[in-house]
Structure 1
């Protein structure tokens, strides 16, 4: 089975040391931007990470992209807007649903609101459910 990992689930796989779950699977290109912002925030705003640790995390993220399929939303904007309006989700969240549906994947997310709404259109699970399969 193939999965599209939403940002919250990518982050959880890294924190759990379960990065192997990502190999050969799919991510939304937008997740790279969001993960970059999370790392920036932990270094610059929250001071939870030092600059060197932030750069190390970015390097790990860069290396992971060599082993996953990175999907782009270009050409899907109209479908994404339709789904976002129908389900009352942000364009960003709806992009995960449209990519999941168009590529016949299962969405992996830790976001309970996204899980609930996405489950109307696609198969959904979270990282802990995936680990237990």
Structure 2
């Protein structure tokens, strides 16, 4: 089974410069929105990242996004809604879960809350363990 990375895992892998972990992985097309939002949050709201770092990090994430295999959710909207309601998770998280189940991926997330909620549904790992 191949890894499907959510935004938290992708960002942490890139932050740690573990780009070798990005071989033969997949993600969702929405990961870029989530990743950029997280970078914005670290820069603007949390003030943990200066502008130059945020800019360069965004460029690197964009480059990774351009070469990684991406999946969309079109046609799976009702399945995603059902997973979100059933597990008490966001539509974004349910999108990763649904694609992972449908396409037989291991979901890789660094979101411990999400991992705990879905661990009985699918194999879940964190970005350090792949």
- Structure 2, gaps ≥5 residues long: none
Conserved in 2, the CA contact under 8 Å of 1:23 and 1:67? no
SS at match of 1:65: helix
SS at match of 1:52: helix
Please give the alpha-carbon distance, in whole angstroms, between the structure 1 residues aligned to 2:69 and 2:97: 16
* CA gap 1:45/1:113 in 2 versus in 1, 3 angstroms: closer
Tell me whether 49-58 or 91-100 shows the greater mean CA deviation.
49-58
Conserved in 2, the CA contact under 8 Å of 1:6 and 1:107? yes
User: Which residue of structure 2 lines up, in the alignment, with residue 101 of structure 1?
Assistant: 101
For the aligned residue pairs, the C-alpha RMSD in angstroms reads 1.6
User: Which residue of structure 2 lines up, in the alignment, with residue 81 of structure 1?
Assistant: 81
Conserved in 1, the CA contact under 8 Å of 2:13 and 2:21? yes
Report the Cα offset of residue 38 of structure 1.
1.6
User: What stretches of structure 1 move > 4 A for 4+ residues in a row?
Assistant: none
Report the Cα offset of residue 19 of structure 1.
1.8
User: Which residue of structure 2 lines up, in the alignment, with residue 23 of structure 1?
Assistant: 23
Query: TM-score, normalised on structure 1?
Result: 0.87
Report the Cα offset of residue 101 of structure 1.
0.8
User: Which residue of structure 1 lines up, in the alignment, with residue 110 of structure 2?
Assistant: 110
User: Which residue of structure 2 lines up, in the alignment, with residue 60 of structure 1?
Assistant: 60
User: Which residue of structure 1 lines up, in the alignment, with residue 69 of structure 2?
Assistant: 69
SS at match of 2:74: coil
- Structure 1, gaps ≥5 residues long: none
SS at match of 1:66: helix
**Alignment length (residue pairs):** 130
User: Which residue of structure 1 lines up, in the alignment, with residue 38 of structure 2?
Assistant: 38
Report the Cα offset of residue 116 of structure 1.
2.1
Report the Cα offset of residue 6 of structure 1.
1.2
Report the Cα offset of residue 55 of structure 1.
1.9
